[in-house]
Amino acid sequence: MAQAQGFCVFCGRPGLTKQHIVPDRLSAILGRPDVVSPQLKLRSESQPERFDVVDDDLIIKQGAFHIKKLRIVCGEHCNSGWMRALEERASSVFEPLVRGQSLYLSADQQHLLAAWASQIAMVAEYTDPEYAAISQADRTHLMINGEPPPNWRIWLGHFLGKDKNDSSYNHHGLIQPYLDWTIKNDKNLATVQTSTITLSRLVFHCFSERRRGSFRYNVEEKCRGIIPIWPIKTENLNWKKAGSMNEADRNWLSMSLPGLAHAQNKESRR
Ligand SMILES: [Zn+2]
């Protein structure tokens, strides 16, 4: 990946530093378990109005997701600057959620949580650079505005899986070559992505696309226990009550992009 040669993927400055993808403070809650983190990569080929999944690749990486570090962000302006400030502000919200505590989330807290979640998804995607679908414009938007881009959708869930130390990342990048008319896609660029991140009792799921409306992602109709926090819909959200999901729900959610791609493909063939 070109940016890893020395320029920050958010601001373009040199002076990269090794950065935890997930705040190190969460290690106190999540421990340092010796687990594997599965990642599914997805590639599709398409004609206008439909596409076929032609290849998928499950990659098992050693080590819990939350202890991973990447060297893609500059030290001064980003890592120790606005990113740390965002983490500090958001920690009073995400720490109770990771612990599974009851919490009513105000609109402001949802806003903060959505910004923090999108920041993690943007950084984590560099573990899967071949299928990266998040644009520079989206990263710049978060950096400048302190909130996810308007074309992002983010959900939360309260995870009831057996493993309290679950820490995992599942990324799907979808390549839609037929979108050539809006973006240069000669490099087989992924255009749609979902990131599903589990941190003990907190699951968050981010969807973004380079071209708004290119993919009908109706995941809310299909998945139990997810609650939207971006765009903000509810003033006061009881996340634990509204968003309980078991392991099967979470696994379905993390696989939903290929699932819905297949369904969309089938529908368009009717
Ligand atoms: Zn930077």
- pLDDT for 2: 47
- CA distances for 216 relative to 1, 62, 119, angstroms: 29, 33, 23
- Which residue stretches of the chain have pLDDT < 70? 1-5, 32-62, 176-188, 262, 264-270
Task: Report the amino acid identity of residue 175.
Answer: I
- Give Cα separations from 209 to 13, 53, 185, 191 (angstroms): 25, 17, 14, 6
Contact 19, 69 (CB under 8 A): yes
Residue 8 Cα to ligand 1 middle (Å): 5
pLDDT tens profile 192-203: 899 999 999 999
**pTM exceeds cut of 0.85:** yes
What is the Å distance from ligand 1's center to 188 Cα? 26
Q: What is the pLDDT of residues 58-96, one digit of tens each?
A: 666 667 778 888 999 999 999 999 999 999 999 999 999
Expressed in angstroms and rounded, the spacing between residue 178 Cα and the centre of ligand 1 is: 33
Report CA(182)–ligand 1 centroid distance (Å). 27
Q: Where are the domains of the chain?
A: 2-269
CA distance 61 to 37: 5
Distance 33 CA to ligand 1 centre (A): 31
Distance 62 CA to ligand 1 centre (A): 28
Rounded Cα distance, 261 and 244, in Å: 25
Burial, 174: exposed, middle or buried (Cβ in 10 Å; 0-12, 13-18, 19+)?
buried
Residue 266 is predicted with a pLDDT of: 63
Distance 20 CA to ligand 1 centre (A): 15
Cα 185 to ligand 1 centroid, rounded to whole Å? 26
Give residue 48's pLDDT.
47
CA distance 240 to 103: 7
CA 75 to ligand 1 center in whole angstroms: 7
